[in-house]
Amino acid sequence: MVSPPRDFESRASADSAIPARKRELSRITQSSSGLARQPFYNDPMRRDDFDYVLPEELIAQFPAAERSASRLLHLDGVTGTCTDRQFRDIAGLVVPGDVVVLNDTRVIKARLLGRKQSGGRVEVMVERVLGADEVMAQIGVNHPPRVASSLVLAGEIVATVMERRGELYRLRFEGCRDVFALLERHGAVPLPMYVSRAADELDAARYQTVYARDPGAVAAPTAGLHFDRALLEELERRGALLAYVTLHVGAGTFQPVRTQELAAHRMHSEWYQIPQATVEAVARARSAGGRVLAVGTTTLRALESAAAGGELSAGYDETSLFILPGYRFRVVERLLTNFHLPRSTLLMLVSAFGGVENIRRAYRHAIERRYRFFSYGDAMLIERQ
């Protein structure tokens, strides 16, 4: 579900699914000239100020042969300097006392195919598990299902539509005692729409971080996909602290921005948890002069949400934090992230962190140097502006 097409409901139709995908890819890849030439931000900011064009061949369709074999673009947010590196170089870019914070959410097999009672094909993308037999989900279908109607998924699962809440539906799986087990058995890995192939066993392993623990995400925290266990051990050997948060990635992170005026955009909320051990690790790093490196935008959003009162605090909550240029960061000083979709909230976030013009130049540099983009692509390390 990582990034639902803007016309998600058309995707389950045999007649409209492929055109919908092609329309979106066509918009992203309409030119090979690099970033769009219009001003990158205005006051007030607009969605199209964060647009760019990308050669289609730079959209990574498969992960690198080895997790840590990807490339790393290092951006200094103060000077705007870009340095080309290998991802394994990250071990040499931390010093004793730094804290590296990772999101330990685990991706569930959130995609289910089936049919309505009328026979029409349907695609269900689970957004959030509510209980042992209930979920919130997006439903891709030509005509929205009615409340109290049933869907038959994976040939044998009966799901009753309990209610509709905006773009999402509350579904109950009849006779189910463990939603996670049901999805593991019958679901598919929820690859994003720009990966133009079906998920396979490789994705079941590689669209998951090696440190994933807590199931609930419907998209991978992709910056973490680059780490293997040996590299994590090397970070610790060099004196870095490893700490964890949990943010179950959902539509709040990848929901498309449908309005030009960004002030009108509303994020879906996502559940996160900050352990006390992570609060203590951040405090210990700061007292020793270390820096806080967030692995991924989801980690950053969890940390910044938990520090909204001024100080980082432990606990769990919901966040709908939408970060735009001008945001005052309280916790994170370095951000490890992948390259993001045009006009996305994630591109807006990294622009706030590294500087709008710096990110614009960095993305142009990445396109010129043939970096691989999006979930299975290469990474950026951004030093805060």
The tokens of 275 are what? Answer: 């352990």
Confidence of residue 375 (pLDDT cuts 50, 70, 90): very high
Residue range 196-220, pLDDT digits in tens: 999 999 999 999 999 999 999 999 9
* pLDDT tens string 322-340: 999 999 999 999 999 999 9
When pLDDT is cut at 50, 70 and 90, the band that residue 44 belongs to is: confident
263, 296 in Cβ contact below 8 A?
A: no
- Whether the CB-CB separation of 28 and 22 falls below 8 Å is answered with no
Query: What pLDDT score was predicted for residue 3?
Result: 34
CA distance 352 to 338: 15
Q: pTM above 0.85?
A: yes
Looking at domain 47-107+211-383, its CATH class is alpha beta
Please state, for a pLDDT cut of 70, what percent of the chain lies above it: 88
What's the distance, Cα to Cα, between the start and end of the chain in Å? 31
**pLDDT given at position 45:** 86
Average pLDDT over residues 3-17: 33
Q: Has residue 244 got a pLDDT over 60?
A: yes
Spatial contact of 304 and 332, defined as CB atoms under 8 Å apart: yes
Residues 351, 49: contact at Cβ < 8 Å? no
Residue 175 has a pLDDT of 97
Number of C-beta neighbours around residue 202 at 10 A: 11
Q: How far apart are alpha carbons 168 and 283 in whole angstroms?
A: 39
279-304, pLDDT tens digit by residue?
A: 999 999 999 999 999 999 999 999 99
Report domain 111-187's class.
Answer: mainly beta
Given a cut of 60, whether residue 272 has pLDDT beyond it is: yes
Q: String of b and e for 236-263 (b: at least 16 CB within 10 Å)? A: eeeebbbbbbbbbbbbbbbbbbeeeebe
3-state DSSP assignment of residue 58 = helix
Q: For the chain, what are the domain ranges? A: 47-107+211-383, 111-187
CA dihedral 110, 264, 310, 50 (to 10 degrees): 80
Cβ neighbours of residue 123 under 8 Å, at least 6 residues apart? 11, 12, 111, 112, 113, 139, 140, 141
Q: What is the pLDDT of residues 111-160, one digit of tens each?
A: 999 999 889 999 999 999 999 999 999 999 989 999 999 999 999 999 99
Helical H runs in the chain?
17-28, 179-186, 201-206, 229-237, 251-254, 276-287, 297-306, 345-354, 356-368
